[in-house]
Chains A and B, each alone.
Chain A
Amino acid sequence: MTMLRLRLHGLAMALAVVGAAARALAAEQPLITPDAAYREVARSGYLRHVEIAGDLDLSRLQAPAGVARIELQGVRVQGRVHSNANGPAVPLSIEGSVLQRLELSGARLRAGFALDGSTVQGVARFDDAQFDGPFVLNAGTLAGGAVFRRARFGAAVEIVATQFDKPAGMSGGVSFADARFAAPARFDRSRFAGDVRFDTSRFEADASFLGLVVSGRASWRNVIFSRDAEFRFCRLGDADFGDAEQMTVFGGLADFRGCTMRSARFDYVDGRGDVMLVNVQVAPGDLTLRQAALRGGRSDFSGLRVAGRLDLEGTYISALQFHWPELAGALRRAGARSDVLRPLQQRLDALQQKEEARDAWAILADQVLRERLAKPDTPVTEKASLWLEWLFWGWSTGHGTKLGRIASLTLAAWLLLSLPLLLWPRVRLGRWQGPLSDAPPRHRAAAPDALKIPRVAAVDRRLQLLAYSFGLMFAIPGLRLRPAEPLPSGLQNYLAVMRGVGALLLALLALTLANVSPVFQAILGKVVV
């Protein structure tokens, strides 16, 4: 065992020494001139672990015959990397390198360009550049800002897992404004520390922004996504997809599933394919889709959560899937009008989401009443009737949708209205002895001779009074309890009022029950048929 331990210890020591030597070699890269770099590339097609003292002109990198790709690995460039004329004739790949500045403004690279696992310490400029081959930025860091304004990409673009830092003194904005992407473009898992702007850019093929992180404003105003645009699990600050003057078009799928945004504006968006806002979270800001037209085969808002307002003014949404409780609060905060709420309620009805449709109906009916009341030309009499409608039907029953509310209200009214009866002194109750058809109306007093008035304890008397008031208010059949004469006229009138209120509450309860209970609806249906 001791020998084995010693051998393992020795092996570990040897590995540590080898590792340290490798690190030392990597740290001390040979310093060469740019001309030497051009010569080495022309000889072998690659450069490895060297430091270039000066500017590197990509147009002077020429691969030897038979070499299909120029590779720069572990290279450190002290000056700027630029291209005075057309870039190399074969694809250029820069891996694990550190560049001081990358200035490809207005350059044209005929073959592919790849920057893999590399860092650009200063600014990276690609404005007005044209890339005829594939363009790759993979797992790198652009620490000094980046500009892609008016860049033209003729082949696939992969800006994947790349970090765009916010240099001190800058807003950290990265602009892809007016860029053209002729082939699929991927920005998956890239992180922008500041703003990113794709305004007026054109994506001729699929665009993918999976897991994209933007800390500031992410703007896609006046953008045309000709094919699918996928933003699944993105994390954006303030997302902006345009407005009346700068509307954005989604030609194919617009997939935002699982995205988180601080606020999102989709005003006037033209969604020609499916729009998926499933499990999207917008907090703490608003989600607006004013005048947007989502006219694909499916517009799925299931699981959408908006902490602020959800503005759907003038929005057209085809084949909408959603859950009312998820949107109700945000719509209320937006002050949604009846022309917004009505199609939503009708859609819930069509989707057979009955309970949700009922809840939406209550909010819609309330809003309709509010709008009619707000009209300046509504006559006072109509306003009064609207108020009454709201009080007796809207508030008390939620427009025939809140069975629990009207039941509680009925119970509370019975107990409350029974209190004066319980506290009224010397009210005697008795059972009607004769046939019920000869009995006086239940709110009137009967002659003591016609009643059987038992001697009961105070508690039993109160229970008896409660039973009487219940029977009085809710028209319990076969009620024989009657108050005995003499009864003050005030109390007689009060009992009549109780009976009236009870009848009204009973009617509201019955109507609500008929509205919400499938069993009742079935029974009513049979009765009507």
Chain B
Amino acid sequence: MNRNSRSRPDRMPSRLMAAALLLFLRQSPAVSAAAAPDDAQFRAQYSRQYDLVKSLGPDMVVEELRLRVELVASRGSQVGAASNDRRVRGFESALLKGLQDALCQGGKPRPAPQARPSPTVIDSVAAAANAQQLRTVGADVPELSALAQRLVDSQTPTRLCALRSLDEVR
């Protein structure tokens, strides 16, 4: 036995893990879609949704966001345990926390990135969707990101950092 052949079994677990990670990334549409904000289709879907809700009041944007998440949650769960309502609520909390973690520090706003679509918002949406094991497909992530972005834009930075739940959005 040479050294190479001895080292092969040692490398197997890391290879398996890498393969599993790749498989996970392929099967997790939220992550894969979030990783492509520069994609023309992603940008088009994002812009269309953002323009559509531009005229809505902030509370109605939250309602649109809830309807959209309900639709995604109704496709079922990879774990299938939590009720839709809990998953929608869970998504909202995770999204708000993600946005506040990225845009606030110690309850105070910090400079927000100007890029649109904002990677910060997209990452927050993708993380919230993954946390609730939502099966995002197609236009889900760009449209949810647009709604979340509109929500952020409709609030003053101080107000956004002070929010405890999306129910408080007015």
Question: Taking beta carbons and an 8 Å cutoff, which residues of A are in contact with B?
Answer: 123, 145, 147, 149-150, 167-171, 173, 175, 177-178, 195, 197, 199-200, 219, 221-222, 240, 243-246
Given that A123-B63, A169-B54 are contacting pairs, would A245 and B70 also be in contact in the complex, using a CB cutoff of 8 Å?
A: no
B24 to chain A, nearest CB (A): 21
The reply to whether B67 and A171 contact each other, CB–CB distance below 8 Å, is yes
B74 at the interface (CB under 8 A from A): yes
Q: Which residues of A contact B66 (CB under 8 A)?
A: 149, 175
B105 at the interface (CB under 8 A from A): no
Tell me which residues from 52 to 110 in chain B have a Cβ below 8 Å from any Cβ of chain A.
52-56, 59-60, 63-64, 66-68, 70-71, 74, 76-77, 80, 83-85
The reply to whether A169 and B70 contact each other, CB–CB distance below 8 Å, is no
Q: Contact partner of A175 among B54, B59, B70, CB < 8 A?
A: B70
Given that A169-B55, A170-B64 are contacting pairs, would A177 and B70 also be in contact in the complex, using a CB cutoff of 8 Å?
A: yes
The reply to whether A170 and B56 contact each other, CB–CB distance below 8 Å, is yes
Cα distance A200–B55 when bound, in Å?
31
Q: Using CB atoms, name the residue of chain A closest to B51.
A: A169
The reply to whether B77 and A245 contact each other, CB–CB distance below 8 Å, is yes
Question: Taking beta carbons and an 8 Å cutoff, which residues of B are in contact with A?
Answer: 52-56, 59-60, 63-64, 66-68, 70-71, 74, 76-77, 80, 83-85
Given that A150-B85, A245-B80 are contacting pairs, would A199 and B56 also be in contact in the complex, using a CB cutoff of 8 Å?
A: no
Q: Contact partner of A177 among B55, B77, B80, B84, CB < 8 A?
A: B84
The reply to whether B63 and A145 contact each other, CB–CB distance below 8 Å, is yes
The reply to whether B85 and A178 contact each other, CB–CB distance below 8 Å, is yes
Q: Which 6 A-B pairs have the closest CB atoms?
A: A245-B76, A173-B67, A169-B56, A169-B55, A178-B85, A169-B53
**Chain A interface secondary structure, helix, strand, loop or mixed?**
loop
Q: Which residues of B contact A175 (CB under 8 A)?
A: 66-67, 70
Given that A168-B55, A173-B67, A245-B77 are contacting pairs, would A200 and B83 also be in contact in the complex, using a CB cutoff of 8 Å?
A: yes
The reply to whether A200 and B59 contact each other, CB–CB distance below 8 Å, is no
Cα distance A245–B55 when bound, in Å?
36
6 A-B interface contacts by CB (under 8 A): A123-B60, A169-B52, A171-B68, A200-B85, A219-B74, A246-B74
Cα distance A219–B75 when bound, in Å?
11
The reply to whether A147 and B74 contact each other, CB–CB distance below 8 Å, is no
Q: Which residues of A contact B84 (CB under 8 A)?
A: 177-178, 199-200, 222, 246
Q: Which residues of B contact A171 (CB under 8 A)?
A: 64, 67-68
Cα distance A329–B85 when bound, in Å?
40
Cα distance A167–B74 when bound, in Å?
24
Q: Using CB atoms, name the residue of chain B closest to A222.
A: B84
Q: Which residues of B contact A197 (CB under 8 A)?
A: 67, 70-71, 74
Known A145-B60, A147-B63, A150-B85; 4 more pairs at CB < 8 Å: A123-B59, A170-B53, A171-B64, A199-B74
Q: Which residues of B contact A244 (CB under 8 A)?
A: 76
Cα distance A221–B77 when bound, in Å?
14
Q: Which residues of B contact A245 (CB under 8 A)?
A: 76-77, 80
Q: Using CB atoms, name the residue of chain A closest to B52.
A: A169
B136 to chain A, nearest CB (A): 16
B80 to chain A, nearest CB (A): 5
Q: Which residues of A contact B85 (CB under 8 A)?
A: 149-150, 177-178, 200
B122 to chain A, nearest CB (A): 21
Cα distance A145–B64 when bound, in Å?
10
Q: Which residues of B contact A170 (CB under 8 A)?
A: 53, 56, 60, 63-64
B165 to chain A, nearest CB (A): 13
Q: Which residues of B contact A240 (CB under 8 A)?
A: 74
Q: Contact partner of B74 among A149, A168, A169, A221, CB < 8 A?
A: A221
Q: Using CB atoms, name the residue of chain B closest to A147.
A: B63
Q: Which residues of B contact A199 (CB under 8 A)?
A: 70, 74, 84
Q: Which residues of A contact B77 (CB under 8 A)?
A: 245
Q: Which residues of A contact B64 (CB under 8 A)?
A: 170-171, 173
Cα distance A169–B146 when bound, in Å?
13
Q: Using CB atoms, name the residue of chain B closest to A174.
A: B67
The reply to whether B76 and A243 contact each other, CB–CB distance below 8 Å, is yes
Cα distance A286–B76 when bound, in Å?
21
Q: Which residues of B contact A173 (CB under 8 A)?
A: 64, 67, 71
Q: Which residues of A contact B76 (CB under 8 A)?
A: 243-246
Cα distance A245–B76 when bound, in Å?
6
Q: Using CB atoms, name the residue of chain B closest to A219.
A: B74
Q: Which residues of A contact B83 (CB under 8 A)?
A: 178, 200
B59 to chain A, nearest CB (A): 7
Cα distance A94–B79 when bound, in Å?
46
Cα distance A219–B68 when bound, in Å?
13
Q: Which residues of B contact A243 (CB under 8 A)?
A: 76
Q: Using CB atoms, name the residue of chain B closest to A128.
A: B167
B31 to chain A, nearest CB (A): 22
Cα distance A48–B78 when bound, in Å?
55
Cα distance A150–B85 when bound, in Å?
9
